[in-house]
Amino acid sequence: MMRLSLLVFVAFTLLSSSHADAEFNPIRQLGRRSVGSDDYKVNCQSFRVGVEANNLRDWITIPTYCKSYIKTYLQKNQYSLDVEAIAVEAADYAESLQKDIFLKDIWVFDIEETLLSNLGYLASSSVDFGTQQVYATPYYEWLTSNATVVPAILELYNAVVENGFEIVLLSEAPESIGDALVQALQNAGFSGWTKLILKGDADNGKSPEEYKSAKRTELVNLRYRIAGNVGDQWSDLSGENVGIRTFKVPNPVYNRIWD
Ligand SMILES: *[C@@H]1O[C@H](CO)[C@@H](O)[C@H](O)[C@H]1NC(C)=O
Ligand SMILES: [Mg+2]
């Protein structure tokens, strides 16, 4: 009898404490499917950090209430400081890395929002700081006519070249805009890359990660060693043969460019 009442008491205490937790613990209220949906309003800085850390995946647009936060982040210097911090770290690494004796050491750079900036387009009403989806055709039209440089990444690029690495540019842009893209890269101050890999017809239907993994695997099969890999999307830096070190350039606006 004594035992039974103790058991009842313990069970009751457990039940009531877990009930109390549920009232103030948002983790207990899971079941939500989209970031920043009505059932759970993610804090905007937590959203941005979660995106950069690859904790938040498969999101399509930013939470609409985070638009002014993202706008301030991009336009009032914090974005530039974040890019600069990554570029400095990557350049230090490029300088200190012991080259391989047998393999050709290369750096892989993504192009869109890594070497070239489309911030003007992302701020336009078409994208509205990520509250609207980004579509490939207008995105690349803007990129090939109006893109600007990401200054800290140009400095990193030049530092990597000076340290004797070959450069491979790996982009999801279609081969059909190759000439215009080369022109945009040159206008932004980039030169001297070894390879420019763009998406051909044979690559259609692959996810961004599958496409980039396959291209990097081809490079590795050609006895290149990927010393560094720089991109603004996690699909640039995940999958197979990602390289010895990866560097994530911030991008809180879009998670992929849609066909
Ligand atoms: C490039 O910028 C100019 C000046 O802002 C603008 O008139 C033009 O439409 C832009 N190009 C594209 C493809 O949007
Ligand atoms: Mg990119």
Give 182-205 pLDDT, tens digit per residue.
999 999 999 999 999 999 999 999
Structure tokens at 3: 């035992």
- Ligand 1 proximity of 93 Cβ (cutoff 6 Å): no
Instruction: Note the pLDDT of residue 37.
Output: 57
Query: Ligand 1 atom 12: the closest Cα is on which residue?
Result: 142
- Ligand 1 proximity of 59 Cβ (cutoff 6 Å): no
pLDDT digits (tens, 9 = 90+) for 5-30: 544 444 444 444 444 444 555 665 54
Q: 115 Cβ partners below 8 Å, 6+ apart?
A: 109, 149, 150, 153, 154, 157, 169, 185, 188, 190
Query: Ligand 1 atom 5: the closest Cα is on which residue?
Result: 146
Whether pTM exceeds 0.85: yes
Was domain 44-248 assigned CATH 3.40.50.1000?
A: yes
- Ligand 1 proximity of 142 Cβ (cutoff 6 Å): yes
The ligand placed nearest to the CA atom of residue 124 is: 1
CA distance 62 to 128: 10
- Mutation pick for ligand 1 pocket among 139, 146, 187 (CB with most ligand atoms within 8 Å): 146
Average pLDDT over residues 66-73: 98
CA distance 170 to 197: 5
Query: Ligand 1 atom 11: the closest Cα is on which residue?
Result: 142
pLDDT digits (tens, 9 = 90+) for 131-173: 999 999 999 999 999 999 999 999 999 999 999 999 999 999 9
Query: Ligand 1 atom 2: the closest Cα is on which residue?
Result: 146
User: H helices within the chain, ranges in order?
Assistant: 2-24, 44-52, 67-75, 78-96, 119-122, 136-146, 151-162, 178-187, 208-221, 234-237
Query: Which residue type is seen at 179?
Result: D
Atom of ligand 1 at shortest distance to CA of 141?
Answer: 13
CA distance 116 to 189: 10
Query: Ligand 1 atom 4: the closest Cα is on which residue?
Result: 146
CA atoms within 13 A on the CB side of 245: 14
Atom of ligand 1 at shortest distance to CA of 121?
Answer: 14
